[in-house]
């Protein structure tokens, strides 16, 4: 109010804050003018000349100021996400929304500020950090009489500021109590494996529901946002055994995988071998048929010519063959008829030695003398000689 | 003038003092008893502004909200199978009859809680004594709480209190029993682990054996098919040979033999010991052309 006064602070220039007395005096003047006191406002009122006038006026002014200050103290601001709960003589009259508000000042009305937007948290089974467990909260008996170690976080907001304020003493403690009882009830109704593994979300959902029901029953004005299972484990004392069971599961899978790896190695390999066998067989079939056809055709062609001159052809072929045979082999020609029954010494061992490991065939020619034993023998044919044999074969062709 | 104002001020002051002791406010969270020289003359359960006679009447306030009795330490109870369980619970209650409440427990909250605790303890003992641990923990938890609430309420009425709810917070096994539970859990896991491992080994073995079987079967079948194919080839070849060679069996014999000779003796390492008697050498002995005849 004084701020709008053009005189404000100007009188004394800028030598500090205006003297209260002077301001009052100034104000008195205005007041008296306002109340229609004639003229006197000009000079008379401003002086302390008349002792009665100013003191009475002063009291009025002070009362007026106090009244304004009192009325002014009724203003309050409700922040976004908050609610103002107004009590008139202790009785709840209204709940105000965010913005600038006014209530009949104290002691008639008072306002309590309640933050309903803030998400509040309660931790069960731990404090601040999941590692700092509170064992007496976190160890819970399950339906199958096992014990699990569980940490929960409950997030909630207030949905009814007046219920929150007026129905329960320490409603925030109630959340913790309710959370504990709800969790234990839900877990007490579930099997351990369900809690630890597949049922985690369901447990949280059921707990949320149960908590909300209980809190509504107490009319706490609290709404549960989320119940999250921070951690669900077997207790430390049996952790090792549980880990081992998990490991065993891994082992099982590993073993199965190894078995499958073996199968995946062996079967395709066998299929490969089988395919090769079949291919080879079909190759063989084609080969034998082709060579049979070839042989047959060759024979038939020769036969045609042979039929034209059998004798000559026969002789020629015979001589050709023997020539070819003899020219390719070492030979010893012996005329035994002269020697009669004499045994002929042939240093076969030496011949063999000169070519060790080679096969030796001794035979008399087709029309051999009866005296001659016809023997053939073969020694083991080493791989080397077989190779050499083959190379020679190639040369011959 | 001065005296008038000072008298006025004094009067105001007195009115203020008397007035302030003549009014009292009951908060939304409270209810009040008005005593007149020790006698209860008024019960104010509704919040608001009230008047009283200064100096003669005085007022006591009581909480009208729901209060909590939370046991500090869990207590031991015995179940029907003679097992000890530690039970921790909380009770929600509120004062419904302030006068009764004041008369029976002097308005002392702790005293009221002790009263409630006694009632509830005995009802827990009754309920737990008839039930197994399993019933207490899961099966009939809700029912037990309901029964306890009803029982507690019967007694609570006598002290002007209503029990809103009795809830079991924790039902735990005592330390030594917990240990045996842990041992059992451990053994069970061990069983599961062993089972998993051995079924794993069995499965792996099955897969391997099956693979080996398939391996053998595939190879055997392939051998069978291959032999079949080869047999077909052989048969066909034989037929071809037979057809061709039938045309002149004698010549075939001769022809084939020559071929065999050629193939049999073709290395210099083959040593032939021959007599000149053979037909090949017939001209080596004599050059007569008519030898044949």
For residue A384, pLDDT over 50 is answered with: no
Which helix (H) or strand (E) element contains residue A268?
helix A236-308
ipTM of model: 0.71
Assess if residue A15 is contained within a domain: no
Pairwise CB contact (< 8 Å): A321 & B172 = no
Please tell me the predicted confidence (pLDDT) of residue A208.
93
The pTM assigned to this predicted structure is 0.64
Which of the residue ranges A240-244, A374-378, B23-27, B249-253 would you say has the lowest mean pLDDT? A374-378
A248 touching chain B per CB within 8 A = yes
Average pLDDT estimate for A136-163: 90
Please tell me the predicted confidence (pLDDT) of residue B137.
82
- How far apart are the CA of B194 and the nearest CA of chain A, in angstroms? 7
Give the integer Cα–Cα distance in Å for B30 and A193.
48
- The domain segmentation of chain B, as residue ranges, is 8-63, 67-173, 260-293
Give the integer Cα–Cα distance in Å for B219 and A117.
76
Q: Chain-centre distance of CA A71, in angstroms? A: 63
Q: What CATH number corresponds to the domain at position A183?
A: 3.30.479.30
Please tell me the predicted confidence (pLDDT) of residue B256.
83
pLDDT band, very low/low/confident/very high, at A205 (cuts 50, 70, 90):
very high
A128 and A231 fall within a common domain: yes
pLDDT band, very low/low/confident/very high, at A23 (cuts 50, 70, 90):
low
Which of the residue ranges A202-206, A320-324, B185-189 would you say has the lowest mean pLDDT? A320-324
- How far apart are the CA of A249 and the nearest CA of chain B, in angstroms? 6
Number of domains in chain A: 3
A125 and A232 fall within a common domain: yes
A114 Cβ contact list (under 8 Å, min separation 6): A82, A83, A84, A85, A158, A161, A164, A165
Render the burial of A181-209: b for 16+ CB within 10 Å, e for the rest: bbbbbbbbbbebebbbeebeeebbebbbe
A251 touching chain B per CB within 8 A = yes
Give the integer Cα–Cα distance in Å for A124 and A130.
10
* CATH dotted code for B67-173: 3.30.479.30
| Chain B neighbors of A218, CB-CB under 8 A | 66, 92, 164-165
Q: Taking CA atoms, what residue in B is nearest to A89?
A: B48
A22 touching chain B per CB within 8 A = no
- How far apart are the CA of A253 and the nearest CA of chain B, in angstroms? 7
A200 and A292 fall within a common domain: no
Torsion angle of the four alpha carbons B142, B148, B149, B150, in this order, in degrees rounded to the nearest 10: 110
A212 touching chain B per CB within 8 A = no
Pairwise CB contact (< 8 Å): A330 & B164 = no
Average pLDDT estimate for B237-254: 87
Count of pairs with CB atoms under 8 A, one residue in A, one in B: 376
For residue A97, pLDDT over 80 is answered with: yes
Please tell me the predicted confidence (pLDDT) of residue A108.
87
Assess if residue A38 is contained within a domain: no
Render the burial of B183-217: b for 16+ CB within 10 Å, e for the rest: eebbebbeebbeebbeebeebbeebbeebeeebee
Residue in A87, A259, A328 nearest the CB of B203: A259
pLDDT band, very low/low/confident/very high, at B233 (cuts 50, 70, 90):
very high
Which of the residue ranges A21-30, A69-78, A196-205 would you say has the lowest mean pLDDT? A21-30
More confident residue, B126 or A19: B126
Question: Of B57, B36, B59, B72, nearest to B107 (Cα)?
Answer: B59
Proportion of chain A above pLDDT 70, given as a percent:
71
Which of the residue ranges A130-134, B118-122, B235-239 would you say has the lowest mean pLDDT? A130-134
* Percent composition of chain B: helix, strand, coil (DSSP 3-state, to 5): 60, 20, 15
pLDDT band, very low/low/confident/very high, at A39 (cuts 50, 70, 90):
very low
More confident residue, B209 or A37: B209
| Chain B neighbors of A392, CB-CB under 8 A | 266-267
Proportion of chain B above pLDDT 70, given as a percent:
96
Question: Of B251, B164, B136, nearest to A214 (Cα)?
Answer: B164
Give the integer Cα–Cα distance in Å for B37 and B55.
9
- How far apart are the CA of A53 and the nearest CA of chain B, in angstroms? 11
For residue A261, pLDDT over 90 is answered with: yes
Give the integer Cα–Cα distance in Å for A271 and A279.
12
Average model confidence (pLDDT) across chain B: 86
Helix, strand or coil for residue A9? coil
Please tell me the predicted confidence (pLDDT) of residue A42.
42
A82 and A138 fall within a common domain: no
Give the integer Cα–Cα distance in Å for B244 and A299.
7
Give the integer Cα–Cα distance in Å for A280 and A111.
101
- The token duo for B215 is 């391996």
A236 touching chain B per CB within 8 A = no
A85 and A191 fall within a common domain: no
Please tell me the predicted confidence (pLDDT) of residue A222.
93
Assess if residue A84 is contained within a domain: yes
Domain hosting A294: range is 262-322
- How far apart are the CA of B247 and the nearest CA of chain A, in angstroms? 8
Interface list for A 75-94 with B (CB within 8 A):
87-92
Alpha-carbon distances of B166 from A49, A145, A250, rounded to whole Å: 78, 23, 46
A129 and A96 fall within a common domain: no
Which of B265, B281, B285 would you mutate first to test chain A, the one with the most A CBs within 10 A? B265
A280 touching chain B per CB within 8 A = yes
| Chain B neighbors of A306, CB-CB under 8 A | 248, 251
Pairwise CB contact (< 8 Å): A337 & B277 = yes
Assess if residue A51 is contained within a domain: no
Give the integer Cα–Cα distance in Å for B247 and A149.
98
A106 Cβ contact list (under 8 Å, min separation 6): A73
- How far apart are the CA of B56 and the nearest CA of chain A, in angstroms? 22
Phi, psi at A51, each rounded to 5° = -70, -30
């Amino acid at each position: 109010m004084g701020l709008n006064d053009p005189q404000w602070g100007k009188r004394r220039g800028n030598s500090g804050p205006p003297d209260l007395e002077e301001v009052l005096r100034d104000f008195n003047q205005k007041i008296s003018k306002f109340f229609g006191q004639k003229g006197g406002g000009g000079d008379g009122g401003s002086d302390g000349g008349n002792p009665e006038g100013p003191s009475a006026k002063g009291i009025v002014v002070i009362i007026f100021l106090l009244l304004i200050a009192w009325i002014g103290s009724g203003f309050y601001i409700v922040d976004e996400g908050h609610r103002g709960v107004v009590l008139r003589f202790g009785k709840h009259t209204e709940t105000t929304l965010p913005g600038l508000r006014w209530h009949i000042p104290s002691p008639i009305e008072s306002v309590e500020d309640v933050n309903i937007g803030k998400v509040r948290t309660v931790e069960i089974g731990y404090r601040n950090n999941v590692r700092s467990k509170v064992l007496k909260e976190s160890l819970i008996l399950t339906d199958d009489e096992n014990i699990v170690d569980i940490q929960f976080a409950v997030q909630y907001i207030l949905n009814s500021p007046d219920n929150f304020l007026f129905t329960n003493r320490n409603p925030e403690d109630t959340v913790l109590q309710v959370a504990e009882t709800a969790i234990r009830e839900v877990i007490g109704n579930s099997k351990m494996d369900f809690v630890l593994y597949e049922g985690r979300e369901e447990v949280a959902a059921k707990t949320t529901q149960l908590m909300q029901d209980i809190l509504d029953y107490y009319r706490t004005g609290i709404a549960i946002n989320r119940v999250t299972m921070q951690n669900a484990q077997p207790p430390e004392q049996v952790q090792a055994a549980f880990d081992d069971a998990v490991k065993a599961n891994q082992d099982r899978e590993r073993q199965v995988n190894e078995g499958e790896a073996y199968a995946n190695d062996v079967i395709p390999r066998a299929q490969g071998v089988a395919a090769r066998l079949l291919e080879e067989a079909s190759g063989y079939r084609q080969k034998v048929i082709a060579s049979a056809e070839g042989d047959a055709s060759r024979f038939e062609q020769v036969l045609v010519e042979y039929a034209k001159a059998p004798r000559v052809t026969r002789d020629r072929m015979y001589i050709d063959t023997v020539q070819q045979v003899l020219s390719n082999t070492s030979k010893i020609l012996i005329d035994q008829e002269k020697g009669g029954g004499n045994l002929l010494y042939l240093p076969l061992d030496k011949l063999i030695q000169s070519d060790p490991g080679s096969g030796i065939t001794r035979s008399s020619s087709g029309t051999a003398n009866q005296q001659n034993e016809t023997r053939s023998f073969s020694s083991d044919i080493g791989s080397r000689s077989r190779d050499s044999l083959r190379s020679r074969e190639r040369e011959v062709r | 003038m001065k005296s008038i104002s000072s008298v006025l001020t004094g009067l105001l002051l007195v009115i203020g003092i008397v007035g302030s002791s003549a009014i009292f406010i009951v908060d939304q969270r409270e209810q009040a008893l008005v005593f007149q020289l020790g006698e209860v003359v008024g019960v104010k359960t509704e919040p608001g502004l009230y008047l009283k006679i200064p100096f003669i009447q005085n007022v006591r306030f009581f909480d009208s909200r729901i209060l909590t009795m939370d046991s500090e330490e869990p207590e031991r109870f015995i179940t029907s199978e003679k097992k000890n369980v530690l039970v921790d619970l909380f009770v929600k209650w509120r004062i419904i009859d302030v006068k009764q409440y004041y008369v029976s427990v002097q308005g002392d909250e702790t005293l009221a809680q002790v009263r409630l605790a006694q009632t509830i303890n005995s009802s827990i003992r009754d309920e737990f004594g008839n039930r197994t641990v399993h019933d207490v923990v899961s099966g009939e938890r809700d029912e037990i709480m309901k029964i306890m609430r009803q029982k507690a309420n019967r007694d609570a009425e006598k002290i002007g209190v209503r029990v809103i709810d009795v809830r079991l917070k924790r039902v735990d096994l005592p330390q030594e029993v917990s240990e045996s539970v842990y041992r059992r859990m451990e053994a069970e896991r061990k069983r599961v682990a062993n089972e998993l491992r051995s079924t794993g080994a069995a499965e792996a073995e099955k897969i391997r054996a099956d693979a080996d079987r398939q391996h053998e079967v595939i190879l055997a079948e392939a051998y069978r098919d291959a032999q079949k194919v080869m047999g077909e080839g052989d048969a066909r070849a034989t037929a071809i040979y037979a057809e061709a060679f039938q045309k002149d069996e004698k010549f075939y014999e001769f022809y084939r033999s020559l071929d065999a000779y050629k193939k049999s003796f073709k290395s210099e390492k083959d040593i032939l010991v021959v007599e000149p008697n053979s037909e090949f050498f017939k001209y080596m002995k004599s050059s007569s052309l008519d030898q044949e005849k």
